[in-house]
Amino acid sequence: MPSRTHPLHIPALVRIKPGALDRTGVYLARAGHRRVVLLVSTGLQPALAQRLEASLAREGISLIAREEVDEASFEQATALFARVPGGCEAIIGFGGGRALDVAKYVAFLAGLPYLAVPTSLSNDGFCSPQSSLTQGGRRRSLRAAMPSGVVVDTDVCLRAPDPLWWSGVGDLVAKVTAIADWKLAFHARGTPVNDFAALLSDATVFQFMARPVRDLEGVRLLATSLMLNGIAMEVSGSSRPASGSEHLLSHALDTLASRPRPHGLQVGVATYVVSRLQGQGTERVASVLEATGFWRGITADPLSRREWLEAVRLAPTLKEDFYTVLSSRDCTPEVEDVLRTDPQLRGCFVD
């Protein structure tokens, strides 16, 4: 029976609906937070920040510091932590994934409640117990604060650029192969499986797969699914419910690719490839990627076949004691065949 080494934290406030951005001040006031720090993505549309700040002002909430986040690094997070004013009652992360990763790590260091307000849904990081930050130029996953509240304005997220939508879809379908890798690790190495976390992760994918449509309801389903995946990681005390060999491949590409692509785009393609190696889930993954236009985004900017094969060789060495299908055998010849012959991948790779 796997044991937890920390208390279970999940968001008490969840608002996923149109117009939620304009009620952020109401939600903070109800929680008794009157002095807050805002960490916002550099380059975010000024109108969105103005809406958030106006909602705080209407409720008499003091914005005691406002900082822009331009990189998801440990160095920037610790520098921002050092500038958190005394008397701060909550940290708000607002914008894209980089700002949210930094904000929740700052909140973790400060021991303060954290409110996640994403403006796009490119991955499950807005509600997960880890921050993906670079440290000395190397990507690391660091323990961070789970949000005490999640506010997703579905109308705002619906208007986000296409690649961010596709990236969120790619990160979501990864749960199909991640759970299979987790169970494979149990049978091969005795890695403990938290059945509830695995069930929760599975259920999130099926919820979105039943209606993979880009409209307000589709955005609500994607946001809910990604959020519950983050909670599944908190329940299990590990990244296993959401991350397997497909994430290792993406991390390897971040290391060696001449031009790494957004995390969720790499993960989505890797999920399809890994499902072929696992011999399970391929039709389910393919159907949702097709329905959401994911492949269109990949073929518009094809990937390097050579770099992907290098990533297959590197990936199993990246994470100690993390058994996946890539650990079970030399998968390089199989992947090379899939990349060259699979009809779903036609146009996705170049030599």
pLDDT in tens, 22-54: 999 999 999 999 999 999 999 999 999 999 999
Tokens read off for 99: 């700002």
The yes-or-no verdict on residue 3 having pLDDT over 50 is: no
Q: Which residue has tokens 């980089």? A: 98
Tokens read off for 70: 């331009």
pLDDT score of 2: 45
Tokens read off for 303: 């990937």
DSSP state, residue 336: H
Delineate the domains of the chain, giving CATH numbers in brackets. 13-158 (3.40.50.1970), 162-350 (1.20.1090.10)
| Residues whose CB falls within 8 Å of the CB of residue 333, separated by 6 or more in sequence, listed in order | none
The yes-or-no verdict on residue 5 having pLDDT over 60 is: no
Alpha helices in 22-73 (DSSP H): 24-30, 46-58
| Residues whose CB falls within 8 Å of the CB of residue 321, separated by 6 or more in sequence, listed in order | 189
Q: Rounded to whole angstroms, how far apart are CA atoms 62 and 84?
A: 14
Q: Rounded to whole angstroms, how far apart are CA atoms 131 and 103?
A: 9
Q: Rounded to whole angstroms, how far apart are CA atoms 259 and 5?
A: 38
Q: What is the mean pLDDT of the chain?
A: 94
| Residues whose CB falls within 8 Å of the CB of residue 346, separated by 6 or more in sequence, listed in order | none
Q: Using pLDDT thresholds of 50, 70 and 90, give the confidence band for residue 145.
A: confident
CA-closest candidate to residue 175, choices 241, 79, 117: 241
The yes-or-no verdict on residue 158 having pLDDT over 70 is: yes
Distance from the Cα of residue 203 to its chain's centroid: 17
Is residue 39 within a helix (H) or strand (E), and if so which, with residue range?
A: strand 35-41
Residue 275 · residue 281 · CB < 8 Å: yes
CA angle (23 as vertex; 19, 24 as ends), nearest 5: 115
Q: Using pLDDT thresholds of 50, 70 and 90, give the confidence band for residue 6.
A: low
**Average of per-residue pLDDT across 91-103:** 95
pLDDT digits (tens, 9 = 90+) for 303-344: 999 999 999 999 999 998 999 999 999 999 999 999 999 999
Cα 109 to Cα 14, 84, 143, 150, 265: the distances in Å are 23, 10, 10, 19, 30
> Please, which residues bridge with residue 73 across strands?
134
The yes-or-no verdict on residue 79 having pLDDT over 70 is: yes
pLDDT digits (tens, 9 = 90+) for 210-259: 999 999 999 999 999 999 999 999 999 999 999 999 999 999 999 999 99
Q: Rounded to whole angstroms, how far apart are CA atoms 211 and 184?
A: 29
The yes-or-no verdict on residue 8 having pLDDT over 90 is: no
Cα 307 to Cα 58, 250, 303, 339, 343: the distances in Å are 52, 11, 8, 12, 20
Q: 62, exposed or middle or buried, with CB in 10 Å at 0-12, 13-18, 19+?
A: middle
Q: Rounded to whole angstroms, how far apart are CA atoms 23 and 215?
A: 21
**Average of per-residue pLDDT across 155-177:** 97
The yes-or-no verdict on residue 4 having pLDDT over 70 is: no
Distance from the Cα of residue 312 to its chain's centroid: 22
